[in-house]
Structure 1
Amino acid sequence: MDLTGEIRRLWGDSLAPVTAEIDDTVPERTRAFLTGVGLPTEPIWGLDFEHGDALAPFERAGRRCLPIAGSAGIPIFVVELDTGVVLQWPPDPAESDPPDFVNSDVGLFLLTAGRYFALIRHAGDDGTAAFRRELAAVDPDALAARTFWSYKVVELQSEDDA
């Protein structure tokens, strides 16, 4: 499966490749994705994707991160620079809870989020099961207990049962 092609299909014209200089500490795989494919220009879950100077590494709770989406300057979705995985931080920087694992890399995050929103728009009887199967096929760690997507699947299943 061509994941980049699928990401482009799901997000359409809302993807904008990063043209600003990216810090040398950003993993090459993340850098290549950001400059070759980019990040959406439209918000999701009320969060704006970062572009330009906002894509600057920072440190929080001993983790070096690159913000990819947030609200009012507070990073929520970040790429952990040591591993390349996408994490979700609690919105309040004073919270001591550890971040939730989201996806194994930024490309898989956009693929999964794109599929999630496509499911919401075109929900069918088997939509939640199909979403879960597709995610398990490309990023099984994203469905482990206490991950961002495991919570979203539970939400979808609750809506299906209602």
Structure 2
Amino acid sequence: MKRSFVSLIAIAAAGLFAVTANAQPSPGMGAGSNSNPGICDSSGPHGPQMGGGGGHMGQRGNAKVMLHRIFALDLTSEQATRVRAIQQNVEKQIIPKRATLDVKRIELRELMHQTNVNQRAVTNKLKEINDVRGEIAQLRVNAQLEARGVLTGEQLERYLDASWRPETSQCRTNGPARRR
């Protein structure tokens, strides 16, 4: 019994560590590329990036990198408008899921702070947290694929070229690129 309790605590601690580690913002993620008019403006509370600034879910950095690469492809104004619409749509879907995730994390902490921890309840709560995280990840992947669909064949080929790196943006406000 004592061994299973210690195992439960270790699993829960690992889960909490993973959740809090993912909540850290990715370093060096700036405001985006200025290769198109209006890209650097703050058209929304987080500018044009899918996911915005720091906060929940480490996947945000991956979405930002993807969009930085897409915006660096010299998009037409129509393409940039379509990509921004995709970003705004996915963010509207993700925000309530992040709120749900926060509530579930609080509930997990409450379960873990009880004198007699219910292992089944903790396991179920961890599953709920991971399910919501999976839903958020799926929304982001779908948005990335939809944004790639806006590109021309030549742009997509350049985007998929692993050796191609967009130039550092003049809009970047943080990270190592600004510390020259």
Bigger radius of gyration: 2
Q: What is the TM-score with the length of structure 1 in the denominator? A: 0.29
Query: Which of the two has greater strand per residue?
Result: 1
Query: Which of the two has greater helix per residue?
Result: 2
Q: What is the TM-score with the length of structure 2 in the denominator? A: 0.27
